[in-house]
Structure 1
Amino acid sequence: MVLAFLRDVFGPEKLKTNNELKKIELKGEFISSIDINVSISSQHVEVNLSDLHGYEKHVLESFINDPHTPSGKAVHCDRTNCRAIVIHAADKLSTDAQHYLLWLMEKYQGCNKIFFFCSDASKLQIIRHLCKIVKLLPASDSEIVEVLEFIAKQECIDLPHDLAKRIAENSKHNLRQAIRSFEASWKSNYSFKENQDILTGWEEDIAKIAKNIVEEQSPKQLYIIRGKLKNLIEHDVSPDFIFSTLKEELKKHLDAQCQAKLDALYQDFNNRDSGLILKAA
């Protein structure tokens, strides 16, 4: 949504985005610098707080401070000298980082505009009074169908209306997930049929996790796998889908005896989960 707004303001030519590795100097820290992943264009920069490793203050200050802005002088801001800073997962900002940002924003006189992209604005109480809050309602199924059919028309893909409706319903009002499912299902089996299976687009990621599990069992690998599973959950992928798909992918790398043991473990896990639900009810 933020990028759609910025494209409308600056034009699509100005928002041609590249992914880069940016070096940030860390003054007064134990390490002298860190490299972070950013998405950047001539008019904006995007960063995810999850990638900043606790150095939010240094990174955000480097983006906010404009070296071309004369200190203590009023600046006329327009589209030519205004740059957008998009902070994803902003509700993860620590209290200390928010106080520091508040100080920066109150004294800042440049033309950069900051967009805090978050799911819970109440966690940004310290800087909230300086911001204009825009609440985004989830897309309806009909709106998602309209977008899917528009994409299909642009790509010359014959998308049955009923299949588009099923993809929309399965996405649970998540437009990005609907588009991902549409693309994955199209790559898997085209031409489309009304009753064909709908993929989520995460099947390949889970298959790689299964392969990694079989290839190496170590504390380091466990840490990496946990991070990948956490990423799936953060993208609203159903835990039931994750583990059922992971089970099937693991079985592809195991012999018959191990497959039977895995099925038994999975069944036992499901029975325990159902028992907890019944007890809670």
Structure 2
Amino acid sequence: MAAPSELFCWKSGLGLPSVNTDCLIVLVVQFESKHRHMLASLEHRSKFTRFRTPGEAPQKYNADYDLSAKEGADTLAFISLLEERLLPALIYALWIDPKNYVEVTRRWHGENMSFPFNFFLPGRMQNRQLERLRLIRGNDTLEAGEETEKELYHDALECLNLLSQRLGSNKFFFGDSPSSLDAYVFGHIAPLLKIRLPNCRLQQSLKNLDNLNTFCSNILNLYFPSESDEGSSHPVSGVQQSDDADNQPYKRRKQLLSVLVAVAAMLSYALLTGIVAIEHVHEEPVGRTSLRGSSHDEEEEV
């Protein structure tokens, strides 16, 4: 029996089971495969009337096992479309747009990282996302700006409209059972639907596509029921607000302590490397100087 594998994902937050697109995709595919695996095991038991050990489970069952050849080709085509058209806009909205990055993305990651990594890791992650965006778009000089935003959001909206047309009135893209395409679509549109972004015109355009909103809710209700009632479209309860108010003094103390520790570390580094030096200056007592001055005057008078 193969050794179990471990999956490390970004934690839940902002109304999502994970704040990372790739993690969302893998989590949904994992649940889909487990569901089909359980159905396959039950079918096998009914035919042969014996129990199977976990190592004997049929490995051929996965999220796309029941798809036809055409549906498999459609899956690859739409995944490619997502990565070329929608993913760049998602990266820009979360990591490159200055207002969204400072107020949402950087703030959340900083609050969920330990000291001192929360001071520099979000910035490094932003740089990597910018490099990723430049690679996808084939533009080494791409920067944040109105023209860049307009171009990316235009391509993303075309992709969303195509997805909406393909989904139609279906619960999932290939009927009543989700596939890997559903996982990929969910991983890309859920952050845009659930995360409150102060500046994102694409977010409002997506919210106007009702079938994609319903699709996202179906995935959350099916696999992540604890997260389905959270997000941008639901107000924060009074209990949550009270808890946040109670935690404010603690958060402020923690932030102040972090700043003091950082300042102390910088001063220590400066002293050890010689950037800053402390010089001791010896001054003679004032009274002694006065006495010597009066004695000198008496000698001149004589």
State if a TM-score over 0.5 links the two structures: no
Work out which structure has the larger RCO, using CA pairs closer than 8 Å and 6 or more positions apart in sequence.
Answer: 2
TM-score normalised to the size of structure 2? 0.25
- Bigger fraction of residues in strand: 1
- Bigger fraction of residues in helix: 2
